[in-house]
């Protein structure tokens, strides 16, 4: 986050904070890895005070006193329904009043996980109501994975010269948003357009379906993926055992027109909520070491590499067959588990491949639900995007986050559930366009609020295993999928969560 957190604000209602006192326990992790558990607490603009316990390594001792906010890196709320919340990271002098407001807004809020994996929801105002169009930076699970994601907003229309976009936190997690931008491109007479994996907007003029399509079990899936109709192919969960490789696979054939050299391969999809089972498993392993885990994730290259491997496994890898070999032509990261999305890969030098085009799409089992895979051989150029000015930011918690969101810098807007941000952009640039298409970009990261236990499996917090040992155990498990994934898929299957995702 850096040391220049300029997006601070004054607490609006200290009475709410007083209501929180005596109801919730909190924990604080300091820069020197001391762990304070406050049974009772109060705080000022400079310090957190109260009584409880202090944990140094494996030794726990009574504590009564105060801790300067300047030494705290995480604060966690306990006993919030089933979920633990890492509320603020890091707590720096420029954001102290933000910490106060965070506590006050949670004084009576209970956390319930809704369907869907992690990421902020992005809504577009269509002239009468806000409609869910996208989800942002869903794989950015800590500061180390901060990213900027782009999404087309098909429902967005100008009203009285302005465009309104809402970012909402509706899940048990903390969102830290660095910057937001809205762009517009003129599609002219083109039917539609799609972003590729490099966030370039391509016109789509004449898509055609595959001529043949089969999945890893040999099933003919042509009917499911030939058209964008919400009739999605989904995994049969055939590959969920240790010797299976844990991967779904689709093999597609396309007929190439004579002379076609370049094409746009378009995938319409939605992601499953499989990550929920993974979070439950992680919560069981980590127990009360949630804050230490996130701190390690910021500084441990090995742990970061393990998480990046998981993101790659969950991504949709696209390969093209050249002779007897498969060549990787691109990869799509998971984007959304509630809002359907489209993403493209540009394919080049197709005239070097004789005969029909063969593509293989693969990913970790049941992460992707595929609505359509189509290809457009039209000769096209990218649609240029022009930035629109951010006119105002209105937060549901009453705080002013405008300066934090204006640029990619060291200041962040902090969004807790169930709060949202309403962003208003100047639409004047798009008024002369024949067919304006709007693309929203959000940069940031999030902290998932891990559960303290899994159903029927006591939390590791009741054991005497230290946080460092639990984190190493977690690293080992995710590095050995043959041990970790079968139980995750067993829970996934038993809970019935693998049933087809319905369209919103």
Output the pLDDT for position 332: 98
Q: What is the DSSP string of 336-391?
A: -SSS-EEEEEEE--GGGS-SSEEEEEEEETTSEEEEEEEEE-----PPP-EEE-EE
Tens of pLDDT, residue by residue over 199-209, are 999 999 999 99
Q: Are residues 96 and 138 in the same domain?
A: no
Total domain count, the chain: 3
Task: Extract the tokens encoding 115.
Answer: 């369907």
Among 376, 397, 413, identify where a domain stops: 376
**What residue spans of 352-464 are helical by DSSP H?**
402-406
189 has pLDDT over 70? yes
Is residue 92 in a domain?
Answer: yes
CATH number at residue 68: 2.30.30
Rounded Cα–Cα distance for residues 62 and 449 (Å): 27
Tens of pLDDT, residue by residue over 43-97, are 777 788 999 999 887 789 999 999 988 888 888 776 555 555 655 544 433 343 4
CA of residue 341 relative to chain centroid, distance: 14
Q: Are residues 255 and 329 in the same domain?
A: yes
What mean pLDDT comes out for the span 12-21?
Answer: 42
Tens of pLDDT, residue by residue over 392-417, are 999 998 888 998 898 888 888 988 87
Output the pLDDT for position 4: 27
Q: Are residues 202 and 338 in the same domain?
A: yes
Q: Are 18 and 106 in contact (CB under 8 A)?
A: no
Is residue 360 in a domain?
Answer: yes
Question: How would residue 7 be classed by pLDDT, with cut points 50, 70 and 90?
Answer: very low
Is residue 259 in a domain?
Answer: yes
Element (H, E) at 492: helix 481-494
Is residue 292 in a domain?
Answer: no
Among 43, 72, 105, identify where a domain stops: 105
Q: Are residues 352 and 209 in the same domain?
A: yes
Q: Are residues 229 and 369 in the same domain?
A: yes
Q: Are residues 166 and 203 in the same domain?
A: no
Question: How would residue 291 be classed by pLDDT, with cut points 50, 70 and 90?
Answer: confident
Q: Are residues 243 and 372 in the same domain?
A: yes
> CB neighbours (10 Å) of residue 23?
9
Give residues with Cβ within 8 angstroms of 440, minimum separation 6.
Answer: 122, 133, 134, 136, 150, 151, 153, 165, 180, 181, 182, 183
Q: Is 339 exposed, middle or buried (0-12, 13-18, 19+ CB in 10 A)?
A: buried
Q: Are 184 and 410 in contact (CB under 8 A)?
A: no
Average pLDDT score, the chain: 84
373 has pLDDT over 60? yes
Question: How would residue 111 be classed by pLDDT, with cut points 50, 70 and 90?
Answer: very low
More confident residue, 447 or 58: 447
Rounded Cα–Cα distance for residues 52 and 35 (Å): 11
Output the pLDDT for position 104: 41
Output the pLDDT for position 10: 25
What mean pLDDT comes out for the span 421-444?
Answer: 96
Tens of pLDDT, residue by residue over 219-253, are 999 999 999 999 999 999 999 998 899 999 999 99
Element (H, E) at 372: strand 368-376
Rounded Cα–Cα distance for residues 454 and 113 (Å): 13
CA neighbor of 246 nearest in space, from 480, 10, 499, 46: 480
Q: Are residues 226 and 339 in the same domain?
A: yes
Lowest mean pLDDT among 33-47, 80-94, 154-168, 246-260: 80-94
Output the pLDDT for position 383: 97
Task: Extract the tokens encoding 421.
Answer: 């941000």
Is residue 7 in a domain?
Answer: no
Q: Which residues share a beta bridge with 36? A: 28, 54
Is residue 32 in a domain?
Answer: yes
Give the domain range for residue 225: 192-271+316-376
Among 55, 80, 105, identify where a domain stops: 105
Q: Are residues 247 and 343 in the same domain?
A: yes
CA of residue 408 relative to chain centroid, distance: 19
Q: Are residues 241 and 363 in the same domain?
A: yes
Question: How would residue 372 be classed by pLDDT, with cut points 50, 70 and 90?
Answer: very high
Is residue 205 in a domain?
Answer: yes
13 has pLDDT over 60? no
Q: What is the model's pTM?
A: 0.85
Q: Are residues 126 and 98 in the same domain?
A: no
Rounded Cα–Cα distance for residues 425 and 440 (Å): 11
CATH number at residue 236: 2.60.120.260
Output the pLDDT for position 456: 45
Is residue 170 in a domain?
Answer: yes
98 has pLDDT over 70? no
CA neighbor of 120 nearest in space, from 339, 272, 309: 339
Output the pLDDT for position 497: 53
Q: Are residues 136 and 205 in the same domain?
A: no
Q: How many CA atoms lie within 13 A of 440 on its CB side?
A: 29
């Amino acid at each position: 986050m850096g040391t220049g957190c300029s997006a601070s604000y004054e607490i609006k209602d200290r009475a709410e904070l007083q209501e929180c006192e005596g109801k919730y326990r909190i924990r604080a992790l300091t820069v020197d890895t001391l762990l304070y558990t406050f049974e009772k607490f109060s705080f000022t603009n400079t310090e957190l005070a109260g009584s409880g316990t202090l944990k140094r390594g494996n030794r726990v001792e009574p504590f009564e006193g105060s801790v300067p906010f300047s030494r705290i890196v995480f604060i966690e709320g306990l006993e919030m329904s089933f979920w633990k919340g890492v509320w603020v990271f890091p707590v720096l002098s420029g954001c102290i009043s933000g910490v106060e407001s965070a506590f006050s807004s949670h004084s009576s809020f209970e956390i319930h996980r809704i369907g869907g994996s992690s990421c902020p929801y992005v809504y577009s105002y269509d002239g009468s109501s806000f409609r869910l169009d996208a989800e942002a930076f869903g794989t950015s699970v800590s500061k180390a994975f901060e990213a900027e994601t782009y999404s087309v907003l098909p429902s967005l229309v100008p009203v009285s010269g302005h465009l309104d976009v809402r970012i909402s936190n509706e899940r048990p997690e903390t969102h830290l948003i660095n910057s937001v931008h809205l762009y517009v491109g003129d599609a002219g007479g083109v039917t539609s357009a799609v972003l590729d994996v490099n966030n370039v907007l391509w016109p789509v003029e004449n898509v055609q379906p595959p001529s043949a399509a089969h999945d890893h079990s040999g099933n003919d899936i042509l009917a499911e993926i030939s058209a964008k109709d919400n009739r999605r192919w989904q995994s049969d969960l055939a590959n969920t055992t240790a010797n299976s490789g844990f991967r779904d696979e689709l093999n597609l054939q396309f007929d190439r027109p004579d002379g076609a050299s370049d094409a746009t391969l378009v995938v319409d999809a939605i992601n499953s909520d499989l990550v929920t089972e993974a979070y439950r498993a992680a919560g069981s392993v980590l127990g009360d070491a949630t804050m230490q885990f996130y701190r390690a994730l910021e500084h441990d290259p090995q742990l970061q590499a393990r998480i990046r491997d998981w993101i790659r496994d969950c991504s949709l890898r696209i390969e093209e067959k050249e002779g007897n070999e498969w060549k990787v032509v691109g990869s799509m990261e998971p984007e959304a588990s509630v809002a359907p999305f489209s993403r493209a890969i540009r394919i080049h030098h197709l005239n070097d491949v004789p005969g029909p085009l063969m593509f293989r799409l693969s990913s970790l089992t049941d992460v992707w639900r595929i609505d359509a895979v189509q290809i457009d051989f039209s000769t096209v150029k990218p649609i240029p995007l022009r930035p629109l000015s951010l006119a105002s930011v209105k937060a549901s918690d009453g705080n002013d986050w405008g300066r934090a969101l204006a640029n990619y810098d060291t200041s962040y807007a902090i969004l807790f559930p169930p709060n949202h941000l309403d962003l208003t952009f100047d639409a004047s640039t798009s008024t002369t366009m024949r067919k304006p298409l709007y693309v929203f970009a959000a940069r940031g990261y999030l902290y998932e609020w891990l559960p303290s236990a899994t159903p029927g499996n006591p939390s590791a917090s009741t054991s005497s295993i230290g946080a460092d040992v639990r984190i190493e155990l977690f690293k080992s498990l995710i590095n050995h999928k043959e041990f970790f994934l079968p139980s995750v898929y067993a829970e996934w299957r038993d809970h019935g969560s693998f049933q087809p995702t319905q369209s919103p």
